[in-house]
Amino acid sequence: MARRPLAPCPPGNMAARIGILGGSFNPAHEGHRHISLMALKSLGLDEVWWLVSPKNPLKSAAELAGFDERLRRARAVAAHPRIRVSDLERDFPSAYTVDVLTRLRRRWPRNRFVWLMGADNLAQFHLWRRWQDILASVPVAVFDRPDYSYAPLWAKAAIACSASRVRGKARHRLAMCNPPAWAFFHGRRNRLSSTAIRRGRA
């Protein structure tokens, strides 16, 4: 499959503001696209990159569809000129978010990266490998999900890093904040989930 290279955008010496939505995309769905469009608008991003992971350290490999199948569906669902789907992680030795972010920042040092996640992931963020280092490396934007509007704000990671939370209108400048910095965005919620889609197929 032909690879679409990722390059800094806009070109030149200007720093691009890039949202990173990582995960297994098993499968990709309109909920992923919904969060990406919210991020583009709310954070003033130049682009959102979907990084399709070959594996998920927190999930069973038996649950995963083939990598190329997940990649194809993600590209079909994204369908937006400022959402780019990449198989970049295929060549990475580690699928852990903290290691992926380290490589991205080394490869594109001028870019301002923001990690994007749904509120359901904030609830389990403390289980991620070196999650404190993730917060220390890039700003993190958390987006409302059905049934997860408020409970994740009392999760272990959210409480531990409450002093780093950006609130009010300042949230829209999150991409330019020096980490640690994270913000929670309420808004219209999309009920689709990869888990529900897989169960429906079963």
Q: Which domain holds residue 107?
A: 17-201
Query: What is the phi/psi pair of residue 29, to 5°?
Result: -155, 180
Question: What is the share, in percent, of the chain residues with pLDDT greater than 90?
Answer: 69
Tokens at residue 174, please? 């999150």
Does a structural domain hold residue 192? Answer: yes
In 10 A of CB 145, how many CB atoms? 23
Does residue 66 carry a pLDDT above 60? yes
Q: Which residue has the higher pLDDT, 6 or 105?
A: 105
Residue 56: predicted pLDDT: 73
CA nearest 35: which of 83, 75, 71, 67? 83
Cβ(36)–Cβ(8) below 8 Å: no
Does a structural domain hold residue 10? Answer: no
% helix, strand, coil for the chain, step of 5: 45, 15, 40
Total structural domains within the chain:
1
Question: Looking at residues 48-76, what average pLDDT do you find?
Answer: 87
Question: Per residue in 81-111, is it b (16+ CB within 10 Å) or e — as a string?
Answer: eebbbbbbbeebeebebbbbbbebeeebeeb
Q: Which residue has the higher pLDDT, 41 or 145?
A: 41
Strands (E), 16-163: 17-23, 47-52, 83-86, 112-118, 140-143
Indicate the DSSP class of residue 13: T
Does a structural domain hold residue 4? Answer: no
Band of pLDDT at residue 175, cut at 50, 70 and 90: very high
Does residue 131 carry a pLDDT above 90? yes
Q: What is the CATH number of the domain that holds 56?
A: 3.40.50.620
Does a structural domain hold residue 2? Answer: no
CA nearest 38: which of 192, 144, 170, 164? 144
Does a structural domain hold residue 132? Answer: yes
Does a structural domain hold residue 23? Answer: yes
Does a structural domain hold residue 7? Answer: no
Tokens at residue 118, please? 């749904």
Does a structural domain hold residue 5? Answer: no
